Each structure stands twice: as C-alpha cells, then as structure tokens.
Chains A and B, each alone.
Chain A
Amino acid sequence: MSGRAGMITQRPVPGHPRPYEFPATIRTSLANGLRVMVTPMPGRALVAASLSLRTGAVDEPSEIGGATVLAARALTEGTEVRDAIALTEAAERLGASLHAESGWDATSVSLDVPATRLEPAMDLLAEVVRRPAFPGSEVERLRDERLTDLLQARADPRRRADEAYVSSIYAPVSPYHRPAGGAADTVEALTATDLRRIHASAYVPERAALVVAGDVDPEAVLRVAEALFGDWEASGSGATAVIDDTSAVTDRFIRVVHRPGAVQTEVRIGHPGLRRLHPDYHAVSVMGAILGGLFNSRLNMKLREEKGYTYGASAGFDLRRARGPFTARAAVNTDATVPALGEFLVELDRIREGLVTDPEINAARDYLVGVFPLRFETPGPVAGSLAGLFVHGLPDDELARYRTAIEAVTPDDVLRVARDHIHPERAAIVLVGDHDEFGEALAAAGIAPIDVQVDADPATAA
C-alpha cells in the first residue's frame, strides 16, 4: 500500500519490560478469625479499604430470596449510633465514599478515602458492618425500590434477556435460576427481621477479610483493625453450605421472548459453566479470550467486523463459587437474528473442533500477561483482587503465579478445555426481540425446538 513520504513503515519493537510484581501484602488474622491484608502502595493517597464476607445470595434460604442483597443495601441506612443521613454526612465530611453490596458469592463494605482520614473512616466502616439498625421504614423503602427495579428490568431488553437466560439454564432448585437480588415473589415479603437474621448468622469474623491498600503504614492499619474488630465475637463456624448449581439444559432449545417492534434482538447462548476453583481456570481464561474476550476474538471479528450484525459480540465464563453461566452474547439488528445465530453456532463448534493458531494463542496469552500491571495501577483493584482470593479460598500466591500459569497454556490445553466446558449441542438459546419479524426464518433454520413467550402486561408480571 502507498503511504506518505517520510512515514516510518516499520513497526517498533518493544523495549525492555520493567519488572513488575503484584505489590507485597502483609497477611495476618485476628484471634476471632478475621483475616487482615494490608498492601502498602506508596504515592497512592486515595486508600481503598474493604470488609469482605464470604456470604452472598447463594447462601440464603430460597424462601427469603433477595434478603442478602437487601441486607447489604440496608447497612448504610442507619446504625445503632446514627441514622442514614448522619452516616452519609459523616462519611462525606471525611471525603470518604462508603458503599455496601452483595452479589452471588460475597458481601462487601468498601471505602475510598484520603490516607490522612483513613482511621475515622474505618470507624464508620466498622459501625456499618457490626452495628446496623435495619430500621423498618428504610427497609420497606428499599424493598419497594427493588420491586420497582424489577418492573424496570422487564422493560429493558438486555436485562430481560439476562433474566430469561439464567432462568432457562438453571433448574428452579438452584439459586442461580433467579436474580441475585431476588424475584418479586420473595422480595415483596421481606422484612427487617429477615435482614437481621442474615446479619446475625452470616456477618461473622470467620467469614470475613479486612483489606486495605494504598499509601498506608501497615502497623497503624493493623492496630486499627484490632481496635475496631478485635472484640467482634467469633461465631464458632465459618462454614458455608453446598451450592446447588443444577443445570436445566439437557438438549439444545430456543426460547423467544417476543417484543413487537424491537429493532434489535438480544441474543444469549450457553449453559452452566465452571466454578472459579476449577483447575482449568487459566486455560479457560485463554480460550475465552480467543473465542469472545479480546476485541479481535473470533466472535467479534465475525459478527461485527465481517458481518456488521452487531456493535459487539462476546463470550465468557462468570466464575463463581459454584458453576456460574457460560454465555455468548450480542445484540443484533432484527433482520440479522437468524444468520447471526448461525455464525454463533459455527464459532462455538469451531473452537471445539481444531487447534487455535499460534497468532491467536500468542495474542491471548500476551494480552492476559501484559495487561496485568495495568489492572493493578491503583489501590481499588488491588484490594478487590485480594478480597476475591479470600472469597474463593484461593492461595496467597495465586496472583504471583498468574502470569506463569497463563504463559504455560498450550493450543492443546485450549482445545481440551473448549471440549470440556463448551457444549453447543446442549445450550439454551434465548432471544428477546420481534418474533413476528424473524419467527418464520428461525423455524425454517431448524436449529432447535422453539418456545415463544409473550410478556404479560407488567402489571400482572410484577
């Protein structure tokens, strides 16, 4: 190709990489079992601190589905010492943002605060974790907001697709069958008593880790940890129950949620995947990057850069304490629904049928290894990763050996894990879009049995 006079046509070669190690972390435990991790990061004046609990929506009894997420939200709605507004104002005066949330696996109360005000801010964090009041009126309001949010989720095509997808791939007996924040039938009955029950049983030091990263003096942080959490009474048990992740997918099937007039179809394809602790973790990370993780992944190059069917196609594994979903996804223009589905299935088969090329595996490994220092530039992600290790019960050196483990993945490994963990022949295909437009072509394509549902009026659906 012609260029321009004087332009340098030759690609630069990389310089010498500056050695990078995940920042050294001091690890200890208090007598009550609370894990404490401190990562000094000199020069990082905005400190990240979090108290993470190995308790999430998977751990709650199904009849109070949604209680764990609601309990976390309610933590900052008032304590035995002060109400929600006083709490917020106290944090704001310190320039601190205090945030509590639960997901499937864990609950965390996190704090970002300038280093000079870490100690008073940690006081607030401890107050929220140990002495929440769960005021009845605030809990009611949060519950109503959640119910209203569920109404909105049904109106939003992508949230509707996500919800229809998980309820299609997990058996009703599995907590993963429903949203982590709970479905309306259980949420509407939740009370402050349910949230107190969650707090009393699951907020215990044996399930908790305090992580602090930033420009801090570790000795000082350890002293504060002891002062704030040393008298947190051990419960005698940190054990969590077995999680039921039973699949509902035995054969391939298509479920259409009909939305007349929709200009795009939200596509979800897959089945339960694997748990975070699976020994194939690193090989699956490389395989996922090639199939649907990188910009230049097979799915994105085919569906976006070649066909123009979508703004972006991807695939990945949600790695949880039990088998989270494997999902291939895209939003495609309505006309392209059936051809896009064909391309998805071709790629899901192809990754299982032959070895990936050297350029493909090099790009994926180099990306995952190379991006590692970028991920941990600031305290927030460092603290988040350490909390993640604790939640999953991973060894202390997991992050230190990550790059070596990724570099060791071979094309044979990729093929093996694709065959073991991707199953297009028993995948659910969920489509949220205008069935009037693509229904005939979909039936003619003969991909799988089709079930079409029309959303009821939101009034009755809620």
Chain B
Amino acid sequence: MPVPVVEFSDERLPNGLRLIVAEDHLAPVVAVNLWYNVGSKHEVAGKTGFAHLFEHVMFQGSANVGKAEHMALVQAAGGTLNGTTWLDRTNYYETMPSHQLELALWLEADRMGTLLAALNQENLDNQRDVVKNEKRWSYDNRPYGSWNEKLLGHLFPPGHPYHHPTIGSMEDLDAASVDDVKAFFATWYAPNNAVLSVAGDCERAQVRAWADRYFGPIPANPVIPSLPDMSLPELIGEERREVVEDRVPLARVFFGFRTPVFGDRRFDALDLASQLLAGGKGSRLHRRLVREERLAQDVSIGLLPVIGGASAAIGSVTVRPGVDIAAAEAAYLEELEKLATELPTEDEMARAKALWEADELGALARVEERADRLSAYATLFDDPALINTLLPRYLAVTAEQVRDAARAVFRADNRVVVTYIPRPGDQPADVADDEEAA
C-alpha cells in the first residue's frame, strides 16, 4: 500500500525564516512546528545543559505574553503543545483546532521577537530549579539512569559536541546567568536560524500572510556562528568498557557502536539492521536471548538520528536473575556478528519493510508528525522533500547493504560496553525460578 505523498510549499521570508506549509483538510486540526537550529552540540565547556534550560525560559513570557501564559492560551484554545531539546536542535510545537492557528503563530512570533523583554532573574532561577528536578527525575533517581551520559562519553571524545548529554551537569546549570540567557537568545533565536512548518487544515496564502505579519518584523542575525569541525574517525579504534554499580536488581549491559551519520545510506541500512535484530518478537535478538535461551528479560537496539560527524547504534540486554552476564553479552554480540557475515533472508527483509511502511502510514496520518518531519528535514538536510523520499530509500535497502553496514560497524574495536551490576545488597540472593538458576 503506497504511503500518500505529502504536498508542501517551501519559501523564505525576507528575514530568512523558512516557511513550509502542507495543507490537508481531512480533520479540522493544524500543527505548527518551529525548529531552531541550535541544540546541545552548540554548547561550550562550562555551559552544558544550556540549550535545554533556555527552552524552559521560552515558556516564561515575552513582551505581550505573561509567565506560563503561552501554555494557558494554547490549552484554553483547545490545543496541545510542548518544546524539546536534543543534540542537534530545539523545537517548539502546537497542535490546534484549525480556527486557532493564528494564535499559535502569534505566540511563537512574540517569543522569537521579544523574549528578553520578560526575562528576569526570578524566572531563570525558578526554571533552573525545575530543570534540576527534571534531571533528577529523568536520570539521577532512575535505575540505570546514567547510561546515556556514560555511552555518549565513550562514543564521542572529550571536546566533541556530542560528548555530553543534553540535560547537562548540575554545576553548569547552577552557573547559568541572565547574561548567558541574553547572549544565547541573541545568537541563536533568529528567524534565519529557524524553520516554521504548518501542516493540516489551513490555507497556504493565509499562513504566509500571517507569517509576514507576525514574524516579518523580527530581524535576522547576520552572524550565526558556525559549528566547530565535528568529524571523527569512522571507528572508535578500541573496545571501551566500564562497569557501574547501581541500585538495580538485574544486571544490564549497554552497547554503543560508532556509526555513519543520519542521512548517510549506510545509516539507512543500519536502521533496517536494528529492526531485524530487535524489532519485535520475531527479531533475532528477541528470539534467541529472550525466547529460546532465556538469558534476557529484554533486548533492544536503535540508532541516534544525529548528523554531526558520527552517530551511534545503541543497544542493551537486561540479564535474567541467575544468568551469567558474560553469557548474555556473548550471545548478544554473536547475533550482531552473524548479521555482519551472513545475508539476512528475503523474508526477513520483506517483513521489516512491510512494518516500516505501515508505521510510516500511521505516523504521517498525524499533522503534528508531518510538521515535525518537514521542519526536521529542512533543518538537518535542507531537504524537506525527504518526507516523501526517505521511505522509498529505506525500502530500496538490500540484504547486501545491511550485511556490509553491519560488518563495518559491529566490530570489537568500535564498541562501548557499559555493564550495570547490582550494588551489594541489591542483588536477588535467590532467583524467582529455581529451575532456571543453573
């Protein structure tokens, strides 16, 4: 079943703001999605976590919008919204009943144009506390919560922009000042560093007129800094291992492999490889480690879709009670090596692609996802048409490409192995099922 083609317009306002509009009148809803080309990779030493802290500040009001009023106005209009920060970018989005589109555009423009008019120390301090609690909640007070930081730290060398996680460190968050926020805003939050996508029940010409009216007066920043060179050797060059004691009842082994970046055809092949390895019950890792040999409680593998120098495949196996950690790790790695040496079957490839196509059909049915993809592909690749061309590219990946990509990446001298083991006292002394303890 072919996935429907998304028709869209793609233009720029005089101040550089890129505007993409994809009309679709099936439901009376419309999505606004604004990507700023700034993420944690733009942070410098001593200021980690800043892009994300700044995202919080964006909800603290602007010249014509009070603290937290952005949320209030969108919700009272029957809309939903959020903002997210990641390694490569920061985005803000609203999904609205279609007759409320203009409000969302005005709100986004007001903060892009006038955020600093409302910025004060009290709001910054408040959101710093909120973000510190977000860090505690999402990482520090969670079993295995440090895995992301550990893997990134090993996969990317010190000084590389992906070396540190988006959430940053408590020390750097503490050090953030109002002046830092002002400088960050002036540097990155400019119309010529953003892509505005609108998808759903709207009229292109009307959207353009509103964009001109609300975003038009915001001046461009003629000097957006360029990133340092992010290129890296294709391989890590050694196996890196770390053992972490944590308050967990089960050991879990995390794996990281350095890979080509998102956008590279080899990344497509590795994405498909991940599906063959751990995409559902019929996948290789699940079948062997969870079902047949019962070494694992769960398994996973997936790719980081990032574009700066190198990306990564990240996987894990949670080791069942009483099972030798080394045995679970060995079985996991064997399956990766098998994919690197033997061609996947035609049936496996066909199943993975059928699922992929159906997932895409479901994802693109939602205007929020369409708007996000358009902004993403425009920001990362200057190619919003990937919304239509990426899937055919994936469907064209061959068994040989999967094997070759796996062979190039799943190597001992290109992997990170971080093993979480129960802290003394947190280990189950006796397993739940005696007969399998042997």
Where the two chains meet, the residues of A that have a C-beta atom closer than 8 Å to any C-beta of B are: 1-12, 14-20, 42-46, 76, 84-85, 88-89, 92-97, 112-117, 141, 144-145, 147-149, 151-152, 154-157, 184, 188, 262-264, 294-296, 301, 304-311, 331-333, 362-363, 366-367, 369-374, 376-378, 380, 457-460, 462
Contacts and interface: CB of A to CB of B under 8 A. Distances in A.
Nearest to B75: A367
B103 A14 contact: yes
Nearest to B363: A46
Interface centre among A6, A15, A148, A374 (most CB of B within 10 A): A374
A417 B320 CA distance: 48
Contacts of B136: 263-264, 331, 333
Contacts of B102: 12, 14-15
Interface stretch (B147-155, B304-312, B426-434): B426-434
A8 B433 contact: no
A46 B433 CA distance: 41
A270 to B, nearest CB: 20
A1 B117 contact: yes
Given A18-B28, A151-B428, A331-B141, A12 B106 contact: yes
B6 interface: no
5 smallest A-B Cβ distances: which pairs?
A370-B78, A308-B129, A6-B217, A95-B358, A459-B429
Contacts of B47: none
15 contacts: A2-B117, A7-B110, A85-B291, A88-B282, A92-B352, A92-B354, A95-B355, A114-B358, A149-B297, A156-B142, A294-B71, A295-B75, A304-B130, A370-B79, A380-B362
B251 to A, nearest CB: 12
A145 B297 contact: yes
B76 A85 contact: no
B366 interface: yes
A264 B71 contact: no
B26 interface: yes
A309 B133 contact: yes
**What band does the interface of chain B fall in when counting residues whose beta carbon is under 8 Å from A?**
35 or more
Nearest to B2: A45
B137 A363 contact: no
B97 interface: yes
Given A3-B117, A19-B28, A374-B97, 10 more contacts: A7-B110, A8-B214, A10-B64, A14-B100, A148-B297, A151-B428, A263-B140, A367-B78, A376-B27, A459-B430
A112 B79 contact: no
Interface of B: 1, 4, 26-29, 63-64, 67-68, 71-73, 75-80, 95-103, 105-106, 109-110, 113-114, 117-118, 125-134, 136-138, 140-143, 201, 213-214, 216-218, 247-250, 280-282, 287, 291, 294, 297, 320-321, 347, 350-352, 354-355, 357-358, 361-362, 365-367, 425-430, 432-433, 436
Contacts of B320: 144, 148
B114 A4 contact: yes
A262 B141 CA distance: 6
B287 to A, nearest CB: 7
Contacts, number: 275
Given A3-B64, A18-B201, A151-B249, A8 B106 contact: yes
Contact of A373 (B28, B358, B362): B28
A14 B28 CA distance: 14
A151 B97 contact: no
Contacts of B347: 89, 93
Contacts of A294: 71-72, 75
A307 B352 CA distance: 48
Given A46-B362, A372-B78, A377-B366, A157 B141 contact: yes
Nearest to B350: A93
B99 A151 contact: no
Nearest to A44: B365
A65 to B, nearest CB: 16
A457 B167 CA distance: 32
Contact of B358 (A3, A112, A305): A112
Contacts of A20: 28, 97
Given A18-B201, A155-B248, A305 B427 contact: no
B99 to A, nearest CB: 4
Contacts of A42: 26
A16 to B, nearest CB: 6
Contacts of A308: 125-130, 133
Contacts of B432: 144, 147-148, 151, 184, 188, 462
B133 A332 contact: yes
Nearest to B351: A92
B281 A7 contact: no
Contacts of B105: 12
Nearest to B142: A156
A155 B67 contact: no
B74 to A, nearest CB: 9
Given A7-B63, A374-B78, A155 B249 contact: yes
Contacts of B287: 85
Contacts of A301: 68
A259 to B, nearest CB: 8
Given A1-B64, A93-B354, A331-B137, A462 B216 contact: no
Contacts of B357: 95, 114
B250 A152 contact: yes
B49 to A, nearest CB: 14
A392 B75 CA distance: 28
B285 to A, nearest CB: 14
B72 A296 contact: yes
B141 A264 contact: yes
A290 to B, nearest CB: 12
Given A149-B297, A458-B249, A45 B76 contact: no
A421 B256 CA distance: 50
B250 A151 contact: yes
Most-contacted residue by chain B among A112, A309, A367, A369 (CB, 10 A): A367
A11 B78 contact: no
B28 A17 contact: yes
A190 to B, nearest CB: 12
Given A148-B297, A151-B249, A46 B133 contact: no
A371 B141 contact: no
A9 B426 CA distance: 58
Contacts of A370: 76-79, 97, 100
B202 to A, nearest CB: 10
B64 A296 contact: no
A42 B365 CA distance: 12
Q: Quick one: which of B67, B99, B102, B365 has the most chain A CB within 10 A?
A: B365
A84 B248 CA distance: 31
A305 B69 CA distance: 11
B143 A156 contact: yes
